[in-house]
Each structure stands twice: as C-alpha cells, then as structure tokens.
Amino acid sequence: MSTIPANESTIEWKNWNAEIPATLMFVVQDGKILLIEKLTGIGQGKINGPGGKIDPGENALQAIVRECQEELHITPHSPVKMGELHFAMSDIPDIHCHVFMSNTFDGEPTSTREANPLWTALDAIPYDKMWEDDRHWLPQMLDGQLFNGRFEFDGEKVVWMEVCFGDSAKALWIENA
Ligand SMILES: COc1nc(N)nc2c1ncn2[C@H]1C[C@H](O)[C@@H](COP(=O)(O)OP(=O)(O)OP(=O)(O)O)O1
C-alpha cells in the first residue's frame, strides 16, 4: 500500500459515496498505450484514457464500451476490469471510476468532438499532462496488478491518497462488474 502525505484524510471514507459513477479504458498493443487528449467534460485539456460517466441503467462494462465507441469510434474486445478509483474532489462532484484494460479492438481510433487519439510508447506516458493520481497506479496496472485507489483532491492537487494492489485491492472494490 502507498500513502501520501503522512497526515490523515479529511474524508470519512467509511460513509463516502460518489455522486458520479464513471469509467476509464486503457488499450495496450505492441508496446503502446492508446491515450486521448480530452476535449470535453471533466478533465478537459488533460491526457487520459477514453471513458466517461456511467449512464442510468448501464453497468460499468456497457458504459466503457459505449464511451470508447463515442469518443474514438473503437470497440474494445473483452475489457478486463483492473481497478477502482475513488476521487473526493473539492470543487466538482465526487467520482467513483472503474478502470479497464483491453489488448484488441475493432475500428480505427478516430478524432471526435470529445477526444483526439494518442498512441503513446509505454515508456513515454506524459504523466505531467495527466491527472496527478495516474502516476500512482497506472505503472502498476500496466505491470498487470489489480488496484484500488482513494484520492482526496484540493482542486487538481492530490492532498491525500491510499492505493492498494493485488487481491487485497480487489476485495475493496464496491462492484465486481
Ligand atoms: C480526479 O482524477 C481523475 N483521474 C483520472 N485518471 N481520471 C479522472 C479523474 N477524474 C475524472 N476522471 C475521468 C473519469 C471519466 O473517464 C472522465 C469524466 O467523465 P466525462 O466528464 O468525460 O463524462 P462524459 O460522460 O464523457 O461527458 P458528458 O457528461 O459531458 O457527456 O474523466
């Protein structure tokens, strides 16, 4: 488990519930990861994986497939859930995010109103242009580790975090979609 900083979180995590259920997808193929430049929504202007909010009546898997189709015109094959992220935010509603990986997909990654695709070498992921939490779980996820992360943000800065990896992380997931 990794935590920063040494101080306690101001969040009462036991009773914490996010307002926004969301998803992220990381497609990895031939030593590259398919990222996006996000053009709309939460995190506009940042580099991230494709993804977005879960619509009413959808589960996380259905949502991530739909978001990849909408944002990049691709359909990932057999997405595998790798982690859950819990974001307590200071200035926007709190977010609970399901993170998936896939190695194959149908379609050609295409720029849309919502995103520009960015095939990126695995050793050149631009963490400085991504949400600050990503550097604390994405490298381990790319090594095949399941994870569960809780992050408290002040604006765009992480002020507290706790990230677990492996089977003990999966036991903390709220949903096993
Ligand atoms: C706070 O830290 C975050 N880190 C990371 N890595 N990703 C995040 C963070 N906060 C939000 N996200 C991701 C989760 C989702 O994929 C998107 C947010 O969803 P978005 O606002 O893009 O939702 P859409 O349904 O696509 O957009 P509309 O509601 O505008 O249709 O960001």
For the chain, domains (ranges, CATH) are: 19-170 (3.90.79.10)
Ligand 1 atom at minimum distance from 70 CA: 26
Pairing of strands 115-121, 75-76: unpaired
Distance of CA 119 to the CA centre of its chain: 17
The string of pLDDT tens digits covering residues 161-171 is: 999 999 999 99
CB count in 10 Å sphere of residue 4? 13
Q: Whose CA is nearest to atom 11 of ligand 1?
A: 42
- What is the model's pLDDT at position 175? 80
Q: What angle do CA 105, 111, 112 make, to 5 degrees?
A: 105
In this prediction, the answer to ipTM > 0.85 reads yes
- What is the model's pLDDT at position 176? 67
Pairing of strands 147-154, 115-121: unpaired
| Residue 110 token pair | 């295409």
Q: Whose CA is nearest to atom 3 of ligand 1?
A: 131
pLDDT for residue 8 is more than 90? no
Mean pLDDT, all residues of the chain? 95
Ligand 1 atom at minimum distance from 131 CA: 4
* Cα 13 to ligand 1 centre (Å): 21
Q: What is the pTM of this model?
A: 0.96
Residue 26 Cβ contacting ligand 1 at under 6 Å: no
Distance (Å, rounded) from C-alpha 117 to C-alpha 168? 33
Q: How confident is the model at residue 3 (pLDDT cuts 50, 70, 90)?
A: low
The string of pLDDT tens digits covering residues 73-103 is: 999 999 999 999 999 999 999 999 999 999 9
Residue 94 Cβ contacting ligand 1 at under 6 Å: no
Residue 113 has phi, psi (to 5 degrees) of -60, -25
**End-to-end alpha-carbon separation of the chain, Å?**
23
Q: Which helix (H) or strand (E) holds 141?
A: helix 138-142
pLDDT for residue 47 is more than 80? yes
Distance (Å, rounded) from C-alpha 176 to C-alpha 171? 9
